[in-house]
Structure 1
Amino acid sequence: MSSTAAPAFTFIDLFAGIGGFHAALSALGGECVYASEIDDAAAKIYQHNWEMQPAGDIIAETDPVVKVPPHDVLAAGFPCQPFSKSGFQRGMDEARGTLFGNICSILLEHRPSMVLLENVRNIAGPRHAHEWDVIIRSLRQLGYQVSATPAVFSPHLLPPSMGGRPQVRERIFIVGTYVGEERAQEDVEPVVHNRPIDGWDPQQWDLGTILQDEDEIADRANYELTPTEQHWVKVWSEFVRRLRAAGVEKLPGFPVWVDAFIHLDDLVIHEDTPAWKANFLRKNAQFYTEHESLLNEWLADFDELNGLPSSRRKFEWQAQDAASLEDCIMHFRPSGIRAKRPTYVPALVAITQTTILGRPLRRITPREAARLQSLPDWFDFPGQPDSATYKQLGNGVNAGVVYHVARAQMARSGDRWDRILAATPESIDDVLD
């Protein structure tokens, strides 16, 4: 948002999406002087909320530096690309011609004080070990002191008082401060660690803290389940209810497969069956044998679950001692209907995986999804379908986590950042809301 005060620093926002980095860095007093985003729909939302039009995909151009102004911080949620292994230069030579290589070109040209990159966790996994090595070596060759150990963090690890959110969204942050090439070769600890902050217990999260009041949800019918989906929930709600009524204190912790219900004495497992599947088959047979009468009555009352897709004939209970399915949140997954306590939700993804509330029975709304990404309620998505909004939020960064990571990097980056830390609170919520 525009401001008459002199900015504490300037930043550029590459692969900007709808502006999660912008939210965090502007909350720290920064001013965005350049943004780029190739997706037109996301760029429109960015322009609407941040009052600046992102350029197209200039980062993919041969010479992107000519359009990028000087800046203090380069932020980018960049896509991971395979690098050429020709010659195994393990650094900038291998990065040339890629999107990350163009980021390096901008860093070489402008030497911003700080670089803040975000990516999915598996960029530091064994399948991408070469890419990770190239990224770290390239940044060090450019004079940026970065950790070779991945900095992984998720919003559910931050307590509410520090701007956390009830969402598991583990992401890699590659954060560096310009110190010159010689000092940059010294390794440092990751700027954040993948564990709760200040003794916070993530099991204390209550998803209700981000939910809208039912009477304030416009077009509420859009978020209700279809009759078919409601039937799926009714089937498994009755499954849980009957087991609880029968005194079953501990529901199965393994995936329940109705198509594997067979008496234990009749179980035959072929020798070529994978070990994990054989284990589940045995557990389902044991479960069915122990509760045969109850389960047969349940199946009979619901026509043996005929007509339910294979994935809806499977059920994953991760809600511990919850009394009923209505007390849970659910996700319709290819592996089955998963139920868990309404503490925190899995990472936001496409609309087909949107979290479902057991009570009231509906999907979370776009506003609630935006809150899970630490975006304020004034941030809106005019003129587009909800499916586009869910997609943009699922592709975005969590602004509260970026705010936390950026402050942590500023704290280790020298005197020039001290006044920013002194002037800004620990939580992004105290600035944006």
Structure 2
Amino acid sequence: MSMGSTPFTFVDLFAGVGGFHAALGALGGKCVYAVEKDREAAAVYERNWNFRAHGDIIDDTETRMRVPEHDVLAAGFPCQPFSKSGFQRGMDEARGTLFWNILRILEARRPTVVLLENVRNIYGPRHKHEWEVIVRSLRELGYQVSSRPIVFSPHLLPPERGGRPQIRERVFITATYVGSEHSHADVEPSVLRQPIDGWSPKSWELHSDLPVQPDKELGNRLRLNLTSAETTWVEAWNDFVLSLRRGGVSKLPGFPIWVDAFIHMDDLVVPDSTAHWKATFLRKNAEFYTRHRELIEGWLERWDYLRDFPASRRKFEWQAQDAESLLDTVIHLRPSGLRVKQATYTPALVAITQTSILGDLQRRLSPREAARLQGLPEWFDFGDQPESATYKQLGNGVNVGAAYHVFREHVRKTIRHVRRRAPGLAEAVYAGALSPDAAVERYWDPERPVILRVRRPSGANIQTAG
């Protein structure tokens, strides 16, 4: 239910630092309840949105509902296994999981629109049952939802639509309340997995589109610089690329390179019991080594055959097409090896220590740059918490531009139903900008007058009292 001059209200569950809050707030929505159990993330949420997130998802007891009425329920919920016993109704099968708590709120409050986000694998074969339960449960409660997910990434959006140079494919589940008589008919997903407005993701240029922070803004860079061992790994594999380039190898292999699989084809023996994927991998490496043996042996000798490198750093994945060296790439130190990509868009931020490395600057992305990748505004402040916590929160977060686009498109596709139950929400979406970056957001502080924060397209910010 919209309140006063507020066009619509929303609740923010599993809120993190507030990616959904940024997206829905950009349309004029007012948060009336938020939940985040991680204390550090909740502190960041309150610091920036002037709104305290609760630690409980729904209620104090089994009888008192804490979540007030609202127009939109947003949640980046964790995926948990659901019961497969018997032929139960969807809500019963979800009992005991965190998703069950969402269903209880929907059953009690019936908000007009539901916006959920999860990892891509929730629609994969290992989670087929969970997906079916989610769809069936929503339909039982009267929500129209597609049986196919929305899979979307911010790199598919142009900059003027709130896009960011980060490939971050996530599953969005969008649902609109239509009543149980009409909710079981299947519908098309509101958003397709394709570039928007003719945008080409290859057009991203990380340094200018992010933009990358200049050194003078970073202060003490030691925390971002590579360790001595990391520098050695990068230098060694850069020498590998340069050696091949000098030797006339114009196209580097697209399959993973593994030093431990370098063997002459005449000496290669692949047991019949070897898995097909591994046999192919071994043959390709042997063929590559045999074809360029002289170049590769010269490189290996210079780096003592990578004897001191851990196993994961003896593997290399080139995904940077025609880049001349690692200085022209974005580097990712992964458990599966050292992967390099073109300096167009980054791999997805993750909630562990695989922060992308800018090849030309030989440093990791800064927390501010990581926040930009997630679409958070320039004024967003993480306080004095450890940077490891900031990276974790951003890796777990919802991308603002992707969430804004998916929500906006879904409301427009179901506008007839939305307008009937939440006219303020319908009008807010139609009046809203194409991008959350262009929005003016209001924040209330009892100690200060209303502050208007405006983000200009250039990334500069102005603050004016109103």
> Which bracket does the TM-score occupy, shorter chain normalised?
over 0.9
Instruction: Work out whether 1:245 is the aligned partner of 2:220.
Output: no
Give the distance between the partners of 2:311 and 2:251, measured in 1 at CA. 25
Partner SS, residue 223 of structure 1: coil
CA contact (8 A) 1:59 1:99 kept: no
Matching residue of 2:389: 388
Matching residue of 2:83: 84
Partner SS, residue 11 of structure 2: strand
Distance 1:83 1:284, change over 3 A: closer
Give the distance between the partners of 1:135 and 1:57, measured in 2 at CA. 21
CA contact (8 A) 2:59 2:65 kept: no
Deviations along 1:130-185, one digit per CA (max 9) or x if unpaired, are 21111111111111111111111111111111111111111111111111111111
Deviations along 1:294-350, one digit per CA (max 9) or x if unpaired, are 211111111121211111111111111111111011111122111111111111113
Give the distance between the partners of 2:219 and 2:29, measured in 1 at CA. 34
Give the distance between the partners of 1:49 and 1:251, measured in 2 at CA. 46
Shift of 1:37: 0.7
Partner SS, residue 296 of structure 1: helix
Give the distance between the partners of 1:92 and 1:241, measured in 2 at CA. 58
Instruction: Work out whether 1:26 is the aligned partner of 2:25.
Output: yes
Give the distance between the partners of 1:135 and 1:199, measured in 2 at CA. 33
Partner SS, residue 429 of structure 1: helix
Matching residue of 2:438: 430
Matching residue of 1:151: 150
Partner SS, residue 438 of structure 2: helix
Partner SS, residue 194 of structure 2: coil
Deviations along 1:202-253, one digit per CA (max 9) or x if unpaired, are 1111111211122211322210000110011111111111111111101111
**What are the ranges of 5 or more consecutive residues in structure 1 without an aligned counterpart?**
none
Alignment of 1:258-407 (within 5 A): 258-407=259-408
Could you tell me which amino acid in structure 1 is paired with residue 436 of structure 2? I
Matching residue of 2:47: 48
Give the distance between the partners of 1:65 and 1:265, measured in 2 at CA. 74
Aligned-pair identity in percent equals: 62
Partner SS, residue 183 of structure 1: coil
Matching residue of 1:174: 173
CA contact (8 A) 2:349 2:394 kept: yes
Deviations along 1:372-401, one digit per CA (max 9) or x if unpaired, are 110011001112111110100011111111
Partner SS, residue 182 of structure 2: helix
82-91 or 293-302, larger mean C-alpha shift: 82-91
Matching residue of 1:14: 13
Give the distance between the partners of 2:280 and 2:59, measured in 1 at CA. 49
Could you tell me which amino acid in structure 1 is paired with residue 168 of structure 2? R
Shift of 1:94: 2.1
417-426 or 315-324, larger mean C-alpha shift: 417-426
**What are the ranges of 5 or more consecutive residues in structure 2 without an aligned counterpart?**
440-453, 456-466
Instruction: Work out whether 1:409 is the aligned partner of 2:410.
Output: yes
Shift of 1:5: 8.8
Give the distance between the partners of 2:175 and 2:60, measured in 1 at CA. 24
Root-mean-square deviation (CA, aligned residues, Å) is 1.7
Matching residue of 1:228: 229
CA contact (8 A) 2:57 2:101 kept: no
CA contact (8 A) 1:400 1:427 kept: yes
10-19 or 263-272, larger mean C-alpha shift: 263-272
More helix by share: 1
Give the distance between the partners of 2:342 and 2:64, measured in 1 at CA. 49
Shift of 1:98: 2.6
CA contact (8 A) 2:12 2:75 kept: yes
Give the distance between the partners of 2:240 and 2:286, measured in 1 at CA. 17
Partner SS, residue 244 of structure 1: helix
Deviations along 1:253-287, one digit per CA (max 9) or x if unpaired, are 11111122222212222222222222222222222
141-150 or 91-100, larger mean C-alpha shift: 91-100
Give the distance between the partners of 1:189 and 1:403, measured in 2 at CA. 19
Give the distance between the partners of 2:362 and 2:382, measured in 1 at CA. 24
* Alignment TM-score, normalising by the size of structure 1: 0.95
Shift of 1:64: 8.1
CA contact (8 A) 2:58 2:105 kept: no
Partner SS, residue 273 of structure 1: coil
CA contact (8 A) 1:328 1:340 kept: yes
4+ residue runs of structure 1 moved beyond 6 angstroms? none
Could you tell me which amino acid in structure 2 is paired with residue 425 of structure 1? A
Distance 1:373 1:43, change over 3 A: same
Distance 1:262 1:85, change over 3 A: closer
Give the distance between the partners of 2:227 and 2:217, measured in 1 at CA. 21
CA contact (8 A) 2:120 2:169 kept: yes
CA contact (8 A) 1:269 1:278 kept: yes
Give the distance between the partners of 2:15 and 2:287, measured in 1 at CA. 52
Distance 1:225 1:351, change over 3 A: farther
Give the distance between the partners of 1:6 and 1:29, measured in 2 at CA. 10
Alignment of 1:111-130 (within 5 A): 111-130=110-129
Could you tell me which amino acid in structure 1 is paired with residue 161 of structure 2? M
Matching residue of 1:205: 204
CA contact (8 A) 1:65 1:105 kept: no
Give the distance between the partners of 2:277 and 2:399, measured in 1 at CA. 35
Could you tell me which amino acid in structure 1 is paired with residue 437 of structure 2? D
CA contact (8 A) 2:59 2:66 kept: no
Partner SS, residue 238 of structure 2: helix
Distance 1:98 1:336, change over 3 A: closer
Distance 1:104 1:375, change over 3 A: same
* Alignment TM-score, normalising by the size of structure 2: 0.89
